[in-house]
Structure formats: structure tokens, C-alpha cells
């Protein structure tokens, strides 16, 4: 009896639908990757500011690093013996940067969303979430004891109607949203979300700035900074693993929320903490973030050029950020387009179900500040050629 027969059948089904995934080993050279013997512009990275590819930054960090900080493992959860002084220093810096009472750092953005909502949302809570929130937030909602309602993506009218109907039926309501959505590259209206929250004493706001932190705002703090509503968001979350080129997730919040999460958030309590040297790297980059305005402006220019170029080719566009999707429809079409672009020197991968809904498979161009205007022109020309066939 083949004990893996069911799994093999499922893999065959995924392959027949064009949804079978493979891991692609790749070397990295600046804004390019080297995979399968080809050097290609990397359009699948979340290194939005180009920091992960910046060798000079790494060199500067290593020159500043004290040998005593070069600790490669915490060897424990933070609640046991794994609480190193640098952890509090980074969290104090975050709370100061955002002007919030407190901050708490987690091992990843997935850990963050998987753990906060189950910790704070009990049976007396209703979570009202945007239809397109990340899988980690959906999993967090499922693990919580709270009820849940999903509203149509960025549909403020429907959200307002839900809140008006439900606010008197629950002790707490948490609106859950992202600021920049990773598959469409569009933005949430954070000001409107904050206005909804202010209407009701029992409504709280949870916003994940994973794809906006570092990229938007005068100091790179995200869309909430750009829209002037940091102080009105109860759970303002972000990640270090994208624009900041490090690892970990974080929330800036009240002191009470921080202490509650330390005591009730299971992924935090039961996980070995990130290595101290990782925290030092994060601290180093946080200190430089406000001075990276030129990188943010360059990225915005590149993004605008690509969106305009694709629109000129007849592609509809909802994105107004550094994430620019090209919707192919069927998975097999997305796979073919990605393969042809790779052959032309552009490393882009197809995004397929379950990451996106059936029939909306796409190429996701993820731009970084390490790219040039010439790179964008060449990419636009390559898309024109392969879609004209």
C-alpha cells in the first residue's frame, strides 16, 4: 500500500491545473538573481529599498558590530532566559519613532498576525476584515474565538453598514486591514478606517503595514505616517523582512496591549527569540530609515513609470505602489508568461491559487530602489513583445 498515494494524487492535480510550485535555487548579485544559468533582474523580491543588496551597508554594520553582540542564537524564548538588552533597545526605538507608548517585536510577520488576534479577540469580539487581508491574518482570525465578517475589498460603504449594524451586539469589534495589499498593490483609506473607529467606543483598528513600512511617509514609517493617522490605530503592525532587509514583525501599541501580548500570545510565549545579532542589524537599519528619502522617491518614480507603461499597453491598473500586478487569468497562462520573461532576463514568478482567487493568476512585479529607469523600460518592452504573440 502506498501511504503517500493521496498526496501524489493531489500533486498531480495541482500540476494539471498549472498550480504546482517548485523551489528555485538562486544566487544574488545586487538587484539581479542567477538561476538556472541565467542572470535576471529580480522582480520577485520585497527588498523595496534595495538594502538587502547593499554590500556597503553590510560592511558598515560589521565594522560597527561589537564582538559581544555577535550572538547567533538566543537559545530560549524571551520569557525564559532569552531576553537580551538589545531587544528592549529596539522596541524603545520603535515606540519613539512612532510616538506610541510601547512596541513588541515577533519572529516574523506571520507569527505576528497569527498570534495577536487570537490573544486579544475572544468570544465577545467580532473581527471585521477586508476580503483581501493576508493569509496570516486569516489564520489568526480562524484561531481566535471571535466571530468574523469579511467586507468587500476597500469597500468603505459596506464596512460602515456592518459597523452600524453590529456595534451594539458585541463588547468589542476589531477592524482588520492592510495598508498596502500585496497582490494588487493598492492602498487602504486609513483615514476613513480611523473615522469609522472613532464613531464607536467599542471599535478598534488593526492595520498591517508590511508592504508600506520603509516605503511611505516622510520618515519611512508607512502609510499611516503619510496619511497622518498613526495615533488613531490601536494595533499598528509591520515587518522588518521587506523594505528594512532584516527579519521579524512588530506592533506599536499601548503599554497595556504590550503587557497583555507578552502574557497571552502563544507564538510569542512558545518561540525561541530571534538571534541578538539580527536585532543589532535591525537597530542599525532603523537608525538610517528616516534618511532614506532619496531611495523612497526613486522607487516611487520607477513604480509610476512601470504602471504608466503597462497602461499604455492596454493593461488595467489598480496599483499605485511599488507592487505592480499583470493579471493573466488562468494559471497556465501566468506560468507561460513568467517563463518567457525569465528567458528575456526578468525573474518574475507566477502567482496562482490559493494565493489569489481562481481565474486571477498573475505576474507580480515587485520593484526595488536598486533598479534603474532603463530596467523599467526594458521590462515594459519585454512585456509588449511576449503579450503581442
Backbone angles phi, psi at 128, to 5 degrees: -110, 110
> Is residue 246 classed as helix, strand or coil in its secondary structure?
coil
Q: Given CATH 3.30.1490.20, say whether it is the number of domain 17-49+292-387.
A: no
Among 291, 264, 281, 287, which residue's Cα sits nearest to residue 104? 264
Q: How far is CA 340 from the centre of its chain?
A: 27
Cβ within 8 Å of residue 222, ≥6 positions away: 179, 209, 212, 213, 214, 215, 216, 236, 238
Positions annotated as catalytic residues are: 46, 134, 178, 182, 208, 211, 242
Q: Residues 180, 187: contact at Cβ < 8 Å? A: yes
Q: Which three cell numbers stand for residue 93?
A: 526605538
Q: Are 364 and 60 in contact (CB under 8 A)?
A: no
For the chain, the structural domain boundaries read: 17-49+292-387, 69-290
Beta-sheet strand order (sheet of 147-151): 102-106, 249-253, 235-239, 203-208, 172-178, 125-130, 147-151
- pLDDT tens-digit map of 297-354: 999 999 999 999 999 999 888 899 999 999 888 888 999 999 999 999 999 988 888 8
Residue 31 CA to residue 122 CA, distance in Å, equals 45
Mean pLDDT across the chain: 95
Contact 46, 349 (CB under 8 A): no
Q: What mean pLDDT comes out for the span 101-125?
A: 97
Q: Residue 87 pLDDT more than 80?
A: yes
Note the pLDDT tens digit of each residue in 182-209: 999 999 999 999 999 999 999 999 999 9
User: In this structure, what are the phi and psi dihedrals at residue 332, rounded to the nearest 5 degrees?
Assistant: -65, -35
pLDDT digits (tens, 9 = 90+) for 334-349: 999 999 999 999 999 8
Please return the burial class of 206, using the count of CB atoms within 10 Å of its CB with bins 0-12, 13-18 and 19+.
buried
Please tell me the distance from the alpha carbon of residue 334 to that of residue 352, in angstroms, as a whole number: 8
- Per-residue model confidence (pLDDT) at position 325: 93
Q: Which CATH number fits domain 69-290: 3.40.50.740, 3.40.50.300, 3.60.150.10, 3.40.640.10?
A: 3.40.640.10
What's the predicted TM-score (pTM) here?
0.94
Over 80: is that where the pLDDT of 5 sits? Answer: yes
Complete edge-to-edge strand list for the sheet that includes strand 323-329: 323-329, 361-366, 350-351
Amino acid at each position: 500500500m502506498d501511504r503517500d498515494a493521496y498526496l501524489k494524487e493531489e500533486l498531480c492535480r495541482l500540476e494539471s491545473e498549472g498550480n504546482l510550485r517548485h523551489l528555485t535555487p538562486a544566487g544574488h548579485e545586487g538587484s539581479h538573481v542567477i538561476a538556472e544559468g541565467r542572470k535576471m533582474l529580480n522582480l520577485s523580491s520585497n527588498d523595496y529599498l534595495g538594502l538587502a543588496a547593499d554590500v556597503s551597508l553590510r560592511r558598515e554594520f560589521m565594522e560597527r558590530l561589537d564582538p559581544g553582540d555577535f550572538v547567533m542564537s538566543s537559545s530560549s524564548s524571551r520569557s525564559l532566559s532569552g531576553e537580551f538588552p538589545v531587544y528592549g533597545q529596539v522596541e524603545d526605538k520603535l515606540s519613539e519613532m512612532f510616538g506610541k507608548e510601547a512596541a513588541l517585536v515577533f519572529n516574523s510577520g506571520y507569527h505576528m498576525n497569527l498570534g495577536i488576534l487570537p490573544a486579544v479577540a475572544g468570544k465577545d469580539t467580532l473581527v471585521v476584515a477586508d476580503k483581501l487581508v493576508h493569509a496570516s491574518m486569516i489564520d489568526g482570525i480562524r484561531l481566535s474565538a471571535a466571530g468574523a465578517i469579511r467586507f468587500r475589498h476597500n469597500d468603505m460603504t459596506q464596512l460602515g453598514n456592518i459597523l452600524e449594524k453590529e456595534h451594539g451586539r458585541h463588547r468589542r469589534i476589531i477592524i482588520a486591514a492592510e495598508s498596502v495589499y500585496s497582490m494588487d498593490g493598492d492602498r487602504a483609506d486609513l483615514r476613513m478606517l480611523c473615522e469609522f473607529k472613532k464613531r464607536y467606543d467599542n471599535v478598534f483598528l488593526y492595520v498591517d503595514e508590511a508592504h508600506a513600512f520603509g516605503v511611505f511617509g516622510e520618515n519611512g514609517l508607512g502609510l499611516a505616517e503619510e496619511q497622518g493617522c498613526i495615533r488613531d490605530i490601536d494595533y499598528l503592525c509591520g515587518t522588518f523582512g521587506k523594505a528594512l532587509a532584516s527579519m521579524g514583525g512588530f506592533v506599536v501599541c499601548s503599554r497595556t496591549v504590550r503587557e497583555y501580548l507578552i502574557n497571552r500570545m502563544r507564538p510569542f510565549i512558545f518561540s525561541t527569540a530571534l538571534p541578538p545579532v539580527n536585532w543589532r542589524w535591525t537597530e542599525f537599519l532603523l537608525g538610517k530609515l528616516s534618511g532614506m528619502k532619496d531611495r523612497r522617491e526613486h522607487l516611487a518614480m520607477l513604480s509610476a513609470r512601470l504602471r504608466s507603461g503597462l497602461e499604455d499597453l492596454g493593461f488595467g491598473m489598480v496599483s499605485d505602489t511599488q507592487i505592480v500586478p499583470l493579471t493573466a487569468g488562468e494559471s497556465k497562462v501566468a506560468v507561460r508568461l513568467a517563463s518567457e520573461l525569465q528567458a528575456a532576463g526578468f525573474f518574475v514568478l507566477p502567482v496562482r491559487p490559493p494565493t489569489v482567487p481562481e481565474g486571477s493568476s498573475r505576474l507580480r512585479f515587485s520593484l526595488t530602489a536598486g533598479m534603474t529607469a532603463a530596467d523599467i523600460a526594458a521590462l515594459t518592452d519585454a512585456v509588449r513583445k511576449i503579450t503581442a504573440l
